[in-house]
Structure 1
């Protein structure tokens, strides 16, 4: 059966805690005739299968296999429970941030919708419903809501966009054309306005010229306002500007009525230009998606969509091309630019037998690559999804502004109404004309666009800027949380140290030789994938160890290994294993490194010292984080106390806990969380694979070495793609800069609006100042937010 007809299913195995059982389940499911492929991810408790018949029946069989091997584990279909409940819509032409907020609010109010997030920066609406069967109906309703509020917006579903790059280009061109036509329209209206100012005409002639100028400039605003009022949507900027300027005409302030509308429209035009520029800047950060792959079939090479390439296919990557899919180089060597993935400016060399990842750019050599992951699971696609979906995880500040905007505009409008009516009634000699004018100033100032536009752009810009530095942040909430870090807890191996082990010493006991000791250790470690086991096997240069010689292989968590080889029982592990098995061993070893004790048939054979180098930037990371205000540094490790103390002393850590099992790491983090202040956050930095539970439990989980690591991207809130702890400094610096810009915008917008409102109430501000307090401040806030996209981590 062809690959096209296979059905992919991702199953969640809730309650699966036994790695051995997970391996058995994977193998047993793979033996089913209906299953083409079976892949288990024990860390994420998921089983991916490719099925060639009706999935329902096969999943029942899989559930029975799981129950037989590991009773109590529940099998769930993530495809149905998640994917079929979600939809992403692109809203082309959405230029009004206030309307965007209304769309999001109304969609969230739908009974069937669990969550809806609209990213104004990307013009994307993500919807999640409570049942898959209602998704289509909800999308129809959402289309009606969008067209109700913004009739000119074009709605596209995610699968409609097959050519992301080209589509983005044409969409950008459409935006530019629309802005040009808007400029021409405003220019014509402005010409009539200038003529009315310069020419000395009768009252009727003056009214006619000002009227023509007003209709040309403000016609769009008036029509939108009328349409929205007919639908019961009163409190928006179109209505406010229409009332304010019509009111100016009513009290015969013709020049001011036209001028306010003119400057409002000019301000909106510049604001749209700034927002579009900001969008392009943000989207350029995500411009790493490959457009095609060169598929090699026998003697032919043809261009295809990366989605059409299967695992095991061969692709050719020419100089200057983006690597479209993850894989292994089987022919050729080249320098590759990894900046798009890691932010690292120095190219690195790849050659035959080495891994290469999608999103890298081939610089000079011709490479043939054997594909190891389909495009949907490739590194570049995961990064794109992560950064794009980050917009839906809103920061507390963003949520506050959203709520604030709901009440701010109606509050100011009712304030304007009171200002127009009450003073003339209670103050002797007060003229209605004067107080109506003051009320009109209130109306012009009341739009919260400066905040509604600039703050989401700010957070998204911060996330994009961090990705340029090789730091992936999963949402604005995590970016904001990085501002309040009190404690940093770090794993040792692979985080503070290189995780590359070498045999430093081989010290036999009694009559045993170094060769005997190393051979016994190698026999014990043959079936282990642990880096320490691999270092022992690399050091062993003797005859090949046959797996059929090894019996009763037992891995004792937190202790080591017990195996039987040719009738001999071999123990290889830490001091806890020796004590557990009552072995009389040498416990007075004064060496810095990981010690592997070896015993054979209850006789102590000796020990092997394994060294692991501290990362070059580890000390820099600790000192830099201290300068940023982090109070406490703690290291958690499964290694022995001597090694842990040596690393802690060299790096100047405040505390360390050694010889910990994975569940004990969680306990230590829980203790620290309970002792920490509510407004201060705890970061755990680990490798994202062994430390997934601790990453999930901490306030902010940071995964090291995320490049190509699925588990890291899944488990962590922040991923440091360069595998450097010092990148955490970059992440916090960008977070602090983002917060600084956002609070500048909040103070700027509310401060100027507040001042103009007060001056307007006392009759000291005109509508000219009010227009600046509205669109002028919005433009300044957007331009200020754009600075974040150019932020550096240094």
Structure 2
């Protein structure tokens, strides 16, 4: 199966977008199709390569019939055209459209200024109507012939022609004129919203300085390969992921992580595409092809996010499918039943029916709601929170239980010696030296941290008979004397009494000969501000926070108490975490989110209602397994994501209530003869513009 990507340049009609998607789905050989109105990309999965050309030709025919001004352009899978800070569209405001509106407007007021009556008045209004409405009438006729009648072109044509038939010439012209003005402003509003979102994602590098045969050549980043060397000058974007081999500088990471504080980097440091080099000259060895780089993955993730629609978006799509036909048939009933069955004035009831037709387009909802969700997704990405779809962003509002992994999530995942206690005449320095000699061959994080804390040269010739005892510790001879280091079980086996220590860290007891000479505490440090971060998450409506840990039960519980976690499970193997998480999900009626480091926790991340990966910076596993990726390892970003989700939901709900309330009020007033076509036009395009502009507020981030 092959996927083709087409960009529909100049597509500004959401209703037409839905029709293009539906008709494309009906093409023979098309397996699946998704049209993203925000990025204007039509993604089509075709059953076989051979049918690709015919399918593209059919799509172009469909688009030409529905939207003659839209240009269909084939795009590469990794061509993030909408996220490059510019658009290929030739502008939404055409000079001829403005001239038509101005000329028609002059003709519209001419009969009033010249006090024309009778045939001259009709001729001037008809001319004004043709100038401003001919294009819409032609489109309505085309769509009618194509079996797609229920769109704004058809509705406006029927309503305005009807107004002329019953002698309401000024209103017929006014509706078409103000509809065109509204469409003009609506296009500007959509364009502004798209640009606002695009500017947040303006992270794609335009070029790379490739070092080749002793000179530097400027190339497309896609032409650079793993193992190549690139030069990045001050002020330039890092074009590909790599390792610095020469140079020192500070880099702005805010494009990727959302953090405004510059980071100092030098030779040996890993550096990611999308960072901006602030000062020094850097030479970088490329470690990933461009399509696998951090920038490509972020752009791909954010761009595809709008194809995973939130439940609210799906509801509106279904609602719009039924809303317009229902209103049209209601208008038909209003226009015919009272005059024909009850003998009422046909002109009056026909006018009421035309008001219904004008207001029956659901554009305000169809356009503004996807814009609202994508604004939230784009805004979150700006602060280093990547959301894979509107469904996950909306789902955050329903999370009532959040489960955390401990190591690398609540804690830093880096072990350090935090306490040394000496007994029986030994000094702290002697205890640490004995422990370091005993642990020098160990690869365990505890042993490595002890050796690191010692920091001096270790003469391995002094060590003999090294033996690791599974689950207990190490026995070794140092200068011919038996040294043991480990837990209480190891000392019980050797019948050596110890001074037991209660600590939140891992406790290693050290023995020499037959006596307990000291104790070392190795702790995995808590992340800074984790207590406040957990409180902030609870303040967003999360009722219960649970922690899963592979540490012993007592240590895990102490960490949980320090941090403010409600329930703790310890002594868990990786498979145990999945089983416990399944239990938690069965016991909870709301959504359950899991927060882990994205590497070891992939099975649980995938199983959760919403999987949140911490520290996804450059982690392929994190981006693959999780639904939301926090590009830094800050737990505080979770409460930020929840605030963004609530703000987005609030804005989307406002748009729904605003649009439906105004449309309902005007529909009722129209039905009882109290609303004119002027109010109907406002309830259609006027409300659309307000809703679209309101959606732009979703870009605002509450930190």
Q: Distance in 2 between matches of 1:698 and 1:583?
A: 47
**What is the match of residue 656 of structure 1?**
568
Determine the structure 2 residue equivalent to 1:301. Answer: 216
After TM superposition, list the pairs within 5 Å mapping 1:72-471 onto structure 2.
Answer: 85-110=2-27, 112-129=29-46, 135=52, 137-159=54-76, 164=81, 169=86, 171-172=88-89, 174-175=90-91, 178-428=93-343, 430-471=344-385
CA change 1:571–1:195 in 2 (3 A) is: farther
Which gives a bigger RCO, structure 1 or 2 (Cα 8 Å, sep 6+)? 2
- Alignment TM-score, normalising by the size of structure 1: 0.81
Do the aligned residues in 2 keep the contact of 1:731 with 1:793 (CA within 8 Å)? no
**Residues 652-731 of structure 1 correspond to what in structure 2 (within 5 A)?**
652-677=564-589, 680-731=590-641
Cα distance in 2 between the residues matched to 1:602 and 1:222: 100
Q: Compute the displacement of 1:144 (Å).
A: 3.5
Q: 1:552 deviation in Å?
A: 11
Question: Does the C-alpha gap of structure 1 residues 184 and 418 become closer, same or farther in structure 2, counting only changes over 3 Å?
Answer: same
For 1:233 and 1:571, the matched residues in 2 are separated by 83
Q: Which ranges in structure 2 are unaligned for 5 or more consecutive residues?
A: none
1:563-578 to 2 correspondences below 5 Å: none
Q: Secondary structure at the match of 1:90?
A: strand
Q: Aligned ranges for residues 620-639 of structure 1 at < 5 Å?
A: 620-639=532-551
- Residue of structure 2 equivalent to 1:778: 688
Alpha carbons 1:179, 1:273 under 8 Å: kept:
no
Q: Which moved more, 1:770-779 or 1:578-587?
A: 578-587
Distance 1:722 1:181, change over 3 A: farther
**CA distances 1:197-224 after superposition (whole Å, capped 9, x unpaired):** 2112242211111111111111121111
| Corresponding residue SS for 1:634 | strand
Alignment RMSD (CA, Å): 3.2
CA distance in 2, matches of 1:249, 1:307: 59
> Quick check: 1:482 aligned with 2:403?
no
- Displacement of 1:561: 8.4
- Deviation of residue 106 (structure 1)? 2.9
Report the counterpart of residue 410 of structure 2 in structure 1. 496
* CA distance in structure 1 between the partners assigned to 2:165 and 2:484 by the alignment: 96
Query: Aligned with 1:118: secondary structure?
Result: strand
Check if 1:750 corresponds to 2:665: no
Tell me if structure 2 keeps the 8 A contact 1:466–1:793. Answer: no
What is the CA deviation profile of residues 226-248 of structure 1, one whole-angstrom value per residue up to 9, with x for unaligned ones?
11112121111000000000000
State the alpha-carbon separation in 2 of the partners of residues 608 and 420 from structure 1: 89
Q: Distance in 2 between matches of 1:694 and 1:425?
A: 66
**For 1:292-336, what per-residue CA distance to the aligned partner results, in whole angstroms no more than 9, with x for missing partners?**
011112431111111111112111111110010111111111111
Structure 1 residues 433 and 603, CA, compared in 2 at 3 Å: closer, same or farther? farther
Distance 1:689 1:760 in 2: 60
2-side partners of 1:224 and 1:583: how far apart?
94
Deviates more, 1:119-128 or 1:288-297: 119-128
1:603-638 CA-to-partner distances (Å, cap 9, x unmatched) read 999864212221222112111122211111111111
Cα distance between partner residues in 1 of 2:404 and 2:80: 42
Q: Whole-Å Cα distance in 1 between the matches of residues 494 and 21 of structure 2?
A: 66
* TM-score, normalised by the number of residues in structure 2: 0.91
Which runs of no fewer than 5 residues in structure 1 stay unpaired? 1-83
In structure 1, distance between residues paired with 2:623 and 2:475: 35
Summarize the Cα distance change of 1:422–1:585 in structure 2 as closer, same or farther, 3 Å threshold: farther
Deviation string 1:463-490 (CA, Å, 9 cap, x unpaired) is 0011112111110000000001101111
Q: CA offset at residue 290 of structure 1?
A: 0.1
Q: Does 1:522 align with 2:440?
A: yes
In 2: Cα distance, 1:668 partner to 1:572 partner: 33
For the Cα contact (< 8 Å) 1:506–1:518, is it kept in 2? no
Q: Deviations over 1:90-123 (max 9, x none)?
A: 1111110001112223334456544322111111
Q: Given the superposition, is the C-alpha separation of residues 463 and 552 from structure 1 closer, same or farther in structure 2, using an over 3 Å criterion? A: farther
Change beyond 3 A, Cα 1:357–1:432: same
Moved more, 309-318 or 191-200: 191-200
**1:113–1:160: structure 2 CA closer, same or farther, 3 Å change rule?**
closer
Worse-superposed segment, 461-470 or 112-121: 112-121
Partners of 2:284 and 2:484 lie apart in 1 by 42
Contact 1:729 1:793 in 2 (8 A): no
CA apart distance, 1:261: 0.6
CA 560–183 in structure 1, closer or farther in 2 if over 3 Å, else same: farther
CA distance in 1, matches of 2:315, 2:168: 38
SS in 1 for 2:32: strand
Distance in 2 (CA, whole Å) between partners of 1:550 and 1:184 is 94
DSSP 3-state at the match of 1:495: helix
Does 1:792 find its partner at 2:701?
Answer: yes
Deviation track 1:381-401 (CA, whole Å, cap 9, x = no partner) reads 111111001011100010011
8 Å contact 1:335–1:363 — kept in the other structure?
A: yes
| 1:24-43 equivalence runs, <5 A | none
Q: Deviations over 1:496-526 (max 9, x none)?
A: 122222123456899995434322323121x
Change (3 A) 1:582 1:399: farther
Task: Tell me the secondary structure at the aligned position of residue 273 of structure 2.
Answer: coil
1:439 alignment partner, SS class: helix
- The alpha carbon displacement at 1:731 in A equals 0.3
CA gap of 1:748–1:378, structure 2 versus 1, over 3 A, is same
Give the conservation status (yes or no) of the 8 Å contact 2:78–2:296: no
Q: Quote the Cα distance in structure 2 between the aligned partners of 1:733 and 1:407.
A: 33
